[in-house]
């Protein structure tokens, strides 16, 4: 059985690459299951459209298809032949950008033409602190979702009653239409209108879920947040999304992380930034100061003659990498504070310093004088 991919996209054999892309985008927008009115019919069509575009949108595969009428299975295909990798193929990602703003949550796995539908994915937004991002954390979250109905175990049939096979499609969920054309025989499939593609009919629906197989429920679970996550990171909790209709597999839960600010430490990628105030005397003479980090006070040696705004880089004291064992750096910027109130003794000492240190007040001017003295 061969499918006429050109017919699926409604284009001529000699169509240009941009024509193919335009046709695909138009159709994908129209038949996307999340926007189409007749969902199950749209899903089948959407799958065909994607399959056709995966071949015709790739010049190499298209050439092969034009010559031999087929494309070998698994020839770099992310989604052909099954929707396990749906959304991962390059050609598909732009469609998902259009519908979901680039995120994978909300993305529905395509159901096979027959069999129960997979439940929707859910998105949960979780605010965590920078310290939790640094150490990793476990957070309890609770949310509402459609879970499997317990009395009927998700089947949708009243307990004790049977589910019967759909007589129109013989349980396949699709009706087939064979068409003879000058190019050969083409088989097109449509979702069975009687059972909606399920392949089964429920004569006596479950009273709790009214045949849907799912009920609204509050669910709590613990999310493990790995150390090093960044703002916007996403954690997938497989199988914790909505339950599938009529016992279908559950969708996934995506936890999106937003990381709050910290009063002392700022983050940029793997590096952490902080400021430390020191006195003029500490800057001039050198000193040891304590810098606040997530792992307690860190001693830092200030070199004699350190200038205001100087930055020290402490290697390996930044954020941990989510994957791998390395850490970023801690960058400590030194701020020289000028006292606003002086004791009598401090005033005396500073006045004396001012008298004997006047030549140093502006090292540049002093240097210029030396230079002038030696110029010809
Ligand atoms: Zn049917
Ligand atoms: Zn039920």
**So what's the pLDDT on residue 162?**
87
Confidence of residue 359 (pLDDT cuts 50, 70, 90): low
Higher pLDDT, residue 9 or 114: 9
In this structure, of 92-101, 245-254, 343-352, the range with the lowest mean pLDDT score is 92-101
- Backbone torsions φ then ψ of 191, nearest 5 degrees: -65, 135
In this structure, of 99-103, 215-219, 278-282, 292-296, the range with the lowest mean pLDDT score is 99-103
Does 121 have pLDDT greater than 50?
Answer: yes
Secondary structure (3-state) at 366: helix
**So what's the pLDDT on residue 2?**
63
Does 85 have pLDDT greater than 60?
Answer: no
- C-beta separation of 33 from 95 below 8 A: no
Ligand 2 centroid to Cα of residue 137, in Å, is: 36
Nearest ligand (C-alpha, residue 146): 2
> Over the range 343-369, which residues count as b (16 or more CB within 10 Å of their CB) and which as e?
eeeeeeeeeeeeeeeeeeeeeeeeeee
Ligand 1 centroid to Cα of residue 367, in Å, is: 94
Ligand 1 centroid to Cα of residue 157, in Å, is: 17
Nearest ligand (C-alpha, residue 172): 1
In this structure, of 130-139, 201-210, 306-315, the range with the lowest mean pLDDT score is 201-210
The 10s digit of each residue's pLDDT in 153-193 is 888 899 998 888 999 988 888 888 888 878 788 888 889 98
Ligand 1 centroid to Cα of residue 164, in Å, is: 10
Ligand 2 centroid to Cα of residue 107, in Å, is: 26
Nearest ligand (C-alpha, residue 171): 1
Ligand 1 centroid to Cα of residue 202, in Å, is: 12
Tokens of 85: 């990798």
In this structure, of 45-59, 131-145, 262-276, the range with the lowest mean pLDDT score is 45-59
Ligand 2 centroid to Cα of residue 374, in Å, is: 98
**So what's the pLDDT on residue 116?**
67
Does 369 have pLDDT greater than 60?
Answer: no
Ligand 2 centroid to Cα of residue 106, in Å, is: 25
Ligand 1 centroid to Cα of residue 348, in Å, is: 98
- C-beta separation of 125 from 118 below 8 A: no
Looking at the DSSP assignment, which residues form a beta bridge with residue 292? 297
Nearest ligand (C-alpha, residue 156): 2
Does 320 have pLDDT greater than 60?
Answer: yes
Ligand 1 centroid to Cα of residue 168, in Å, is: 5
Nearest ligand (C-alpha, residue 207): 2
Mean pLDDT for the stretch of residues 16-33: 84
Please give the model's pTM, rounded to 2 decimal places: 0.54
Nearest ligand (C-alpha, residue 194): 1
Ligand 2 centroid to Cα of residue 276, in Å, is: 62
In this structure, of 80-89, 107-116, 127-136, the range with the lowest mean pLDDT score is 80-89
- C-beta separation of 109 from 86 below 8 A: yes
Ligand 1 centroid to Cα of residue 166, in Å, is: 5
Rg for the chain (alpha carbons), in Å? 34
Q: What percentage of the chain exceeds 90 in pLDDT?
A: 36
Confidence of residue 115 (pLDDT cuts 50, 70, 90): low
Tokens of 272: 């952490």
Ligand 1 centroid to Cα of residue 175, in Å, is: 8
Nearest ligand (C-alpha, residue 176): 1
Nearest ligand (C-alpha, residue 214): 2
Ligand 1 centroid to Cα of residue 188, in Å, is: 16
What are the E-state strand segments in the chain? 122-128, 137-148, 164-165, 174-181, 184-191, 200-201, 214-225, 234-237, 253-259, 266-268, 271-279, 287-293, 296-302, 311-314, 330-337
Does 309 have pLDDT greater than 80?
Answer: yes
Ligand 1 centroid to Cα of residue 114, in Å, is: 9
The 10s digit of each residue's pLDDT in 34-65 is 766 777 778 888 888 888 888 898 888 888 88
Higher pLDDT, residue 287 or 99: 287
Residue 193 Cα distances to 39, 75, 151, 199, angstroms: 11, 34, 28, 10
Ligand 1 centroid to Cα of residue 192, in Å, is: 5
Angle at 57 between CA 54 and CA 59, to 5 degrees: 115
Ligand 1 centroid to Cα of residue 248, in Å, is: 17
């Amino acid at each position: 059985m061969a499918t006429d991919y050109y017919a699926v996209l409604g284009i001529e054999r000699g169509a240009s690459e941009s024509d193919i892309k335009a046709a695909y985008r138009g159709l994908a927008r129209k038949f996307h299951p999340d926007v189409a009115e007749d969902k199950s019919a749209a899903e089948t069509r959407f799958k065909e459209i994607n399959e056709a575009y995966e071949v015709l949108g790739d010049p190499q595969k298209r050439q092969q298809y034009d010559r031999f009428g087929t494309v070998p299975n698994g020839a770099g295909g992310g989604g052909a032949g099954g929707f396990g990798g749906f959304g991962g193929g390059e050609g598909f990602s732009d469609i998902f950008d259009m519908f979901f703003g680039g995120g994978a949550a909300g993305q529905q796995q395509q159901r096979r033409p027959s069999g129960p539908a997979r439940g929707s994915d859910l998105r949960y937004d979780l605010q965590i602190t920078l310290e939790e991002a640094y150490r990793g954390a476990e957070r309890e979250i609770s949310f509402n979702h459609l879970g499997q109905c317990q009395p009927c175990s998700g089947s949708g049939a009243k307990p004790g009653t049977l589910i019967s096979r759909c007589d129109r499609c013989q349980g396949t969920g699709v009706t087939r239409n064979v068409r003879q054309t000058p190019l050969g025989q083409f088989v097109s499939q449509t979702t069975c209108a009687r059972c909606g593609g399920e392949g089964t009919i429920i004569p006596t629906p479950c009273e709790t879920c009214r045949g849907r197989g799912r009920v609204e429920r509050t669910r709590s679970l613990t999310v493990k947040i790995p150390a090093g996550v960044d703002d916007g990171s996403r954690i997938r909790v497989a199988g914790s999304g909505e339950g599938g209709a009529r016992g279908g597999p559950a969708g996934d839960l995506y936890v999106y992380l937003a990381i709050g600010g910290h009063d002392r430490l700022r983050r940029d990628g793997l590096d952490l930034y902080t400021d430390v105030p020191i006195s003029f005397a500490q800057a001039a003479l050198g000193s040891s100061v304590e810098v606040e980090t997530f792992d307690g006070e860190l001693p830092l040696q200030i070199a004699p003659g350190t200038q205001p705004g100087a930055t020290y880089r402490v290697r390996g004291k930044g954020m941990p990498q989510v994957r791998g064992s390395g850490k970023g750096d801690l960058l400590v910027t030194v701020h020289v504070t000028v006292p606003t109130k002086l004791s009598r003794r401090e005033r005396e000492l500073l006045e004396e310093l001012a008298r004997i240190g006047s030549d140093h007040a502006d090292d540049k001017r002093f240097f210029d004088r030396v230079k002038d003295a030696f110029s010809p």
